[in-house]
Amino acid sequence: MSEDIKVDLELDLKGLLCPMPMVKVSQKIGDVPVGGVIRAVATDPGSMADIPAWAKSTGNEVLSAGKEGDEYVFLVKRAK
């Protein structure tokens, strides 16, 4: 499904320790237009709860979050 989604910004968050992956997504969400999508790749397992929690509390949307090998991959859509 994720292949159909146009990604506006790729964020490499590998090696960053929580909560920095969430912080970086939050800092960069303004760089994509409303409705735009960030694809973020992190390696800290804490990001699997942090990024969706941040999205839910800020009204943004996590289209998908999943583990691929040792990486955690997120598609985050800017909602407003």
Partner 1 sequence: MEPQQVDTLTGVLDKKMTRQLKQYLDICARCAICKDACHQYVATGDLTYLPARRAELIRQIYKKYFTKTGEFVPALYEARDPDESLLDELYESTYACTGCRRCMYYCPFSIDTAWILSVAKAILIAADRGNEMLGQLADAALMKSDNFDMFRDIILDGFKDIEGKVKEMTGDPSAEIPVDKEGADVLYVALAGAHSILPAAAIFHEAGTNWTLSMFESANYGYFFGDAEKARRIADRFMDEAKRLGVKEVVITECGHAYRVAQFFHEAWSGEKHPFKVRHILEVIDEYIRDGRITVRHGAITEPVTYHDPCQVGRNGGIFEQPRDIVRAIASDFRDMTPNREEQWCCGGGGGLVAIAEMEDFRLKSGAKKLEQVKATGARIIASPCENCRLQLEGLNDQLDLGLTVKPVMDLVVDAMEIRR
Number of chain residues interacting with partner 1 (CB under 8 A): 21
62 counts as binding partner 1 under rule CB under 8 A:
no
User: Active-site residue among 7, 16, 18, 20?
Assistant: 18
DSSP per residue over 5-41, as a string?
SPPSEEEEETTPPTTHHHHHHHHHGGGS-TT-EEEEE
C-beta closer to partner 1: residue 3 or 27 = 27
- Positions touching partner 1 (CB under 8 A) are 17-20, 22-23, 26-27, 44-50, 52-54, 56-58
